[in-house]
């Protein structure tokens, strides 16, 4: 499968919009407030959609003190905070690249033992290692205006009904 393929938004039962980068950072911060250690968040969306912006807001609210920069070239950035946050981005990973070499098994063990959180942009290459492990999945797509982004949400296992807003009904 194309490692850069995006999932179909129809498969995401909940959605909301952000009106600019500050609103996306605030969304990340709100979700950080709901995310205990052990949380895995997968972020799908085209380049420039706002995945890293979300992670910056998330990390700040999770107690990360320093600058949060895109791990596009490093593949993994790890930040100490109230909980360790591993920020991964597999956009530039080569097909022959071994996830073991960048410490993915140790990162997943740490998360699954409840000692860290993982935020993963372009998560395609990680999916086989994740299997059916619980996570929140976000798909961010351009909105109606230059600064609007529409965030589609789903969970594994599925989010409780209260999260769901049927696609096509009501405002974002
Ligand atoms: N609503 C919005 N949410 C997030 N970013 C936005 C929004 N509107 C405009 N932007 C701009 O889009 C870009 C998003 O970049 P980034 O977060 O690095 O994207 P990605 O990680 O998805 O490639 C930034 O330049 C940001 O200022
Ligand atoms: Mg990014």
Our count of domains for the chain comes to: 1
36 falls within a domain: yes
CATH code of the domain containing 100: 3.40.50.300
Q: How far is the C-alpha of 19 from the C-alpha of 105, rounded, in Å?
A: 37
Kindly give the distance from the C-alpha atom of residue 45 to the centroid of ligand 2, in angstroms, as a whole number.
9
170 falls within a domain: no
Average pLDDT in the 157-167 region?
73
125 falls within a domain: yes
146 falls within a domain: yes
What pTM, to 2 d.p., does this model score? 0.94
Q: How far is the C-alpha of 172 from the C-alpha of 39, rounded, in Å?
A: 25
Burial class (CB in 10 A: 0-12, 13-18, 19+), 36: exposed
161 falls within a domain: no
Instruction: List pLDDT tens digits, range 39-81.
Output: 999 999 999 999 999 999 999 999 999 999 999 889 999 999 9
Residue 95 tokens read as 């097909």
Does the C-beta of 48 come closer than 6 Å to ligand 1?
yes
8 falls within a domain: no
Q: Which residue range(s) make up the domain with 54?
A: 15-154
Q: Which ligand 1 atom sits closest to the C-alpha of 50?
A: 17
């Amino acid at each position: 499968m194309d490692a850069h393929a995006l999932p179909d938004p129809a498969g995401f039962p909940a959605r909301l919009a952000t009106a600019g980068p500050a609103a996306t950072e605030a969304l990340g911060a709100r979700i950080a407030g709901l995310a205990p250690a052990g949380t895995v968040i997968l972020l799908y969306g085209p380049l420039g959609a706002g995945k890293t912006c979300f992670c910056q807001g998330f990390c700040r609210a999770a107690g990360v003190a320093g600058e949060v920069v895109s791990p596009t070239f490093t593949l993994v950035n790890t930040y100490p905070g109230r909980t360790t946050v591993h920020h991964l981005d597999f956009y530039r990973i080569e097909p022959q690249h071994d996830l073991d070499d960048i410490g993915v098994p140790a990162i997943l063990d740490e998360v699954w033992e409840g000692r860290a959180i993982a935020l993963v942009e372009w998560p395609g290459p990680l999916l086989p290692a994740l299997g059916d492990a619980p996570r929140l999945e976000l798909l961010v797509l351009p909105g109606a205006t230059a600064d609007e982004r529409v965030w589609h949400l789903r969970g594994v296992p599925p989010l409780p009904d209260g999260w769901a807003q049927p696609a096509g009904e009501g405002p974002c």
